[in-house]
Structure formats: structure tokens, C-alpha cells
Structure 1
Amino acid sequence: MLRTLKQTTGHFMGSSSKKPLVGVISDVKVISPHPFHIAGDKYLRALVEAADVVPIMIPCSE
């Protein structure tokens, strides 16, 4: 069963957290006809579960 980041971390945007923030650079994928900034779920979950940090997606500049 897939869980949301809030369910995994207990945090959501705007909540206070003493955990460090870690930037994850996103990639751009076109899902016709719009470009989307995306990051792999496995990378975000690894940061949350193994490093106990809060991942923040950073949009790529291309």
C-alpha cells in the first residue's frame, strides 16, 4: 500500500519540525502537453526512512 509523505513522516508543509531539510533536485518530465517537475519516490523515502530528514524538492532550471 502506498503511503503519503505525511503518513510516513507525520509532517506536512507548514508543520514545525526539528528535522533537517534536505534538497532533492527534481527532473522534468513531459506528460502531454505539460512539463512536470518530479523526483523518484524511492529517493524521497530513503531520506525519510534511513536518514530521518525532511526532503524538499528543488525544481530544475531546464
Structure 2
Amino acid sequence: MSNTIQEQQKLAAELIDRFVIDLWRSQVIYAAAKLDIADYLAIRPMTIDELAKHAGADATSIYRLL
């Protein structure tokens, strides 16, 4: 069964999308790990502002990260 060029292009675009999303996910996990977000949340639930203070980061950035 042969794919048309349009089907191949669609599959290629979907594959690129998957690679980009997977890269984004790994960067989010890396950033959260570097900021010790899981360690702070293991102590107790915290607000974004509290997490930002403990992590030494901007609250808006922490909000976007999570």
C-alpha cells in the first residue's frame, strides 16, 4: 500500500509535532527538577507565590511552568 505525497507530508508533520512536544516536556521536567519544585511540594501544598519564593524564581514563570 503506497501513501500519497499528502499522506506522507501529514505523517512527517505529525512526527515533527511529536518531537517538539516531547522536547518541550523534557525541558519542563528539567526546569522543575532544577528548581526543586517536587521537593517543596513534598513538604506541603504551596501557592505559586510560595513556590517561587522557595525556588528563587519569578511567580509568573513558575505558574507557566506548572
TM-score (norm 1): 0.22
Q: Structure with the greater relative contact order (CA < 8 A, sep ≥ 6): 1 or 2?
A: 1
Q: Which has the larger radius of gyration?
A: 2
The structure with the largest helix share of the pair is 2
TM-score (norm 2): 0.22
The structure with the largest strand share of the pair is 1
